[in-house]
Structure 1
Amino acid sequence: MGHGGNVLAELMTDHREVEEMFSRIEAMTGGGQELRDLVDDVTIELVRHSVAEEQYLYPAVREYIEGGDRLADKEIADHGRVEELLKQLEKTDTEDPRTGSLLHQLMTEVSDHVQDEETNLFPKLRQVCSPETLDELGDKVRRAKAMAPTRPHPSAPDTPPGNKLLAPGVGLVDRARDFVTGRGKS
């Protein structure tokens, strides 16, 4: 969840972890509890990652990159599509025939988003931000991930100040639910 380093290193490490989880999903031959646990783990990681980006990365994109509003809006729209897919997966039994299609859509959306961030957004941010700024953003992102929700909430605000005000409370409720149910312990 928290890896250290500047914001770009932190987020790229998250990307690699999600890619590894996707590889494990693709290698599975059935559904059941093992798939449910892995989908829950992917959901937890993606939601925390997205919330942290929306709280700190995209405001920095708006502030530091020329045309940053357009870039940030596109990335937030990507997150919205992913969150909707995560919500559908949360409600779908792993034995349901739709699960495979939903997972394929999720993996495609996330892969495209990661590719876009790593080839377009991150290099632009690296060019305009000092190493100190990138380190500070990394610290903020790690703190945000620790407090973030662990379940998809598509109707929650995705821009400051609303997301910064609501996410910690929603995250607390999600983590309490996870503790009671054992979710995310795989």
Structure 2
Amino acid sequence: MTAACDFVDAALQREGSWLRAEEAQARLGERHQYYGASVGAVRGTVRDMLRRHRDLVHDDITALSSELWSVPVFERRLAAVVLLQSRVALLNNSDLTRIEGFIREARLGELVDPLAADVVRPLTAGLEGQASARADVVLERWARDPDPWLRRAAVLSRAPATQPPARRSTTP
């Protein structure tokens, strides 16, 4: 593990509680493991890590998000989402492939919805020219995919930003 990933993982484990972990598992299912860290703790941990590692560039951010995502622990995956949200300005249309993989694996509204609304939507809104056209092709493909989570992400990523966020749920 990289130092940044080690920092995030250790902090999330310290912030966790077995009671919150059991509650999350009962609410969200057994697809993931749970440390029991709060959403606020996840956001704070990512913020602290970014302060410690100020020199992270595009490739570092995407590699770290994949490293966090690689272990099926909900809080680590949420940290990957928060990391991408916080550095969405560094992302480009080629990152949609990585995000697609995250969406296919997540199968959980609490992860898919913020990826679509808070990462893909602003990412694609900031693209121009050929990059924008390529992203549109990807989102069109998502919209026709048999995977209901990918179709959901396509809809949410194209919804107007002023629209209230969709109710988070564990079913598509």
With normalisation by structure 2, the TM-score equals: 0.29
Name which structure has the greater RCO, CA cutoff 8 Å, separation 6+: 1
Indicate the structure with greater helix content: 1
